[in-house]
Structure 1
């Protein structure tokens, strides 16, 4: 009983002069093996990787800077801001200082906050009723898996309870508005694959303006940013609890983010090579069979060298 322990193929060489039909055929067939796969891979889209994504848990920290406007049933409003520059002489009679409590929680204990709970309790008079809320919250936002990106992000939330000017709203102070949402990154531009980007680190809220706060202008300027924050999966609940003030309760989560970035040179080359190789294998097999048929059958005359003795 015998079994094969090693296999060696017999090598046959076909040689010819430099200027011959066989040499011309070899050069043309080699070019047709290499060049068409490159053209096919390039023209079929996806040859160069222009956009890539990765998952990262962003580092988000509430800066304890915010602006809140409470609109009342009589078309008047109350305001509070942690920046004194937003409280002008025109708003002095409308300023209400809330009792503020907030905390960030790290659920998986990885050193990165996962959620924020914020409570603002505004004192109200008996004849005051809050019908809608506008709040601007500032966050420090960081990404550092590839390029280092840091910005001061603005989160806008609002909510309305009932129509303005409703007569039976008088004396119904003590509403509570609960908001639950996810803080997500909104991209209009790809992040670089390396370097440092902190162009949006300045606060989106105006400072030292001396003019009354205009929420529309603030949001319009913030929307011009290529990188900004948005609230998603948002749910708002109003509740009548009979207390003597108005409570704004906010629960925000910081989920893992899918970040788009511009691939580096070597990542693009690696991806392009895979696309080219996938087509090249087919052409190599086809033209190898053609060469074998042409030379083994001596369709183009060559000198045969056999290594067998």
Structure 2
């Protein structure tokens, strides 16, 4: 009758020694050198703790219909015309006040429930002797992020262009880009910048000074700017035609920097630690087998017969 190997199992060999023996001390040192060095290597590699991470999100942006305009003229009429949606500002302008015609349209191109762009048009009526040489324009927005922390702020787009030749129209097509000086938190509600960019109820001219507004805005750690590298200045205005500002402002998907939470930091650190630990486990396992098999430290070997051998003997 032919015999076949039906089952096999590796033989186990134990090594016995006292708890105060050299063998026990060797195992203690081997455990220390197995588990501690990977932690030091991962930590010293500069990146063990994940302090900053990023993700992509399209913000929820809505135009707040707040506008502040200063049109720079030639030497006539004191050199500028101004208008805003803030009545207190308009009362301060006196003869420099000129009310334009403003039209806006927000568009959701991909029908995902979030506004993708703003179409803004402003027509400033001019007299035949008035010529626009430059424009300073502030538009305000409500800007929200929701994927990690709920971040809500009121932001602005500041447009400034000036030319030596009088213009008939300024065309802008740019992105409202997020700028961060520090990462956002990974959870909770952040409304520290949910305050008006322009103090629209203030009766003081200082609060409407563009230098003051921009300086206060830049003190924030999170802002938005209008990215348009090539504004187009069109010339050749008819005598009674208005000066036109035509702007298309897009709300693109942003890469948001944030501070990871506790569990995300632990997960990132654990992956680094274990990847190095596996190498140390393999190396020290071979070292321990060599030390005990060759009796480098004194122990009493104990061999346990595998069950497979018992089965073989029974079948024979």
Q: So what's the TM-score if we normalise by structure 2?
A: 0.90
Distance 1:290 1:105, change over 3 A: same
d(CA) in 2 for partners of 1:9, 1:45: 43
Question: 2:212 aligned to 214, 217, 228, which one?
Answer: 217
Give RMSD over aligned pairs.
1.9
Deviations 1:154-207 (A, max 9, x none): 1101111216xxxxx6xxxx6000011111111112211111011111111123
Q: Which residue of 2 aligns with 1:202?
A: 195
Q: Which residue of 2 aligns with 1:79?
A: 82
Q: Which residue of 2 aligns with 1:161?
A: 163
Deviations 1:143-163 (A, max 9, x none): 000110000001101111216
Distance 1:5 1:182, change over 3 A: farther
- How many pairs were matched up? 299
- Which has the greater radius of gyration? 2
Deviations 1:3-56 (A, max 9, x none): 988663222111211110101001001100011111111111100000010100
Deviations 1:104-131 (A, max 9, x none): 1111110001111100001100000000
- Structure 1: unaligned runs, 5 residues or longer: 164-168
Q: So what's the TM-score if we normalise by structure 1?
A: 0.92
- Structure 2: unaligned runs, 5 residues or longer: 311-316
| Mapping 1:292-307, distance limit 5 Å | 292-307=289-304
**Secondary structure of the equivalent of 2:216?**
helix
Cα deviation for residue 67 of structure 1 reads: 0.3
Question: 1:271 aligned to 256, 268, 271, which one?
Answer: 268
Q: Which residue of 2 aligns with 1:240?
A: 235
For the pair 1:113 / 2:115, whether they are aligned, the reply is yes
**Secondary structure of the equivalent of 2:143?**
strand
Distance 1:20 1:65, change over 3 A: same
d(CA) in 2 for partners of 1:68, 1:3: 95
d(CA) in 2 for partners of 1:268, 1:223: 31
